[in-house]
Amino acid sequence: MTDEPSYFLDEQAAFEKVEALRWPDGPVCVHCGAYLQAGRVTGRGARAGLWFCRACKRQFRVTIGTIFEDSHLPLNKWLLACQLVGLEGMRGTKLREHLQIASHAAVRMRRAIRAVLGSEPASSLDEILRRAFEVWV
Ligand SMILES: [Zn+2]
């Protein structure tokens, strides 16, 4: 387990990976479209991956509008699930055991990832994540 990438283990690292893919040139506000006007919300109690836009004064996360939004599961578990389901074809029961989550959560997660994948097999985690940005829920 120790040689797993940090984005499978840590939620902030998971956000940084997804942000680097979706915003290669820096954050873009999902509300007003302002470019490089946002700062990270940090400090005690701040949720991972949260940004504040100085242009429109609203908060956002890179996951807005994707399958990863509105989930109680941390993003690092989602990334691991993408790897296990999308690249290794792991089934629901094993996924639940591996991620140590409730079975209904594992079923929902797997279904969402399968929907993102469609019928084309993906060859890398990055490719799955890019597809997840294109599938707006
Ligand atoms: Zn904004």
Per-residue pLDDT of the chain (137 residues; tens, 9 = 90+): 557 899 999 999 999 999 999 999 999 999 999 999 999 998 888 889 999 999 999 999 999 989 998 678 999 999 999 999 999 999 889 999 999 999 999 999 999 999 999 888 899 999 999 999 886 55
Contact partners, residue 109, CB within 8 Å, separation at least 6: 71, 73, 78, 81, 85, 95, 99, 101
Ligand 1 centre and the CA of 6: distance in Å? 29
Q: Give the length of the chain.
A: 137
Instruction: Say how many Å lie between the CA of residue 49 and the centre of ligand 1.
Output: 15
For residue 42, how far is its CA from the centre of ligand 1 (angstroms)? 18
Residue 109 CA, ligand 1 centroid: distance in Å: 30
Ligand 1 centre distance from Cα of residue 134 (Å): 21
C-alpha to C-alpha distances, 65 to 2, 6, 14, 70, 133, nearest whole angstrom = 32, 24, 17, 9, 8
Please give the distance, rounded to the nearest whole angstrom, from the Cα atom of residue 63 to the centre of ligand 1: 15
CA 46–ligand 1 middle distance (angstroms): 19
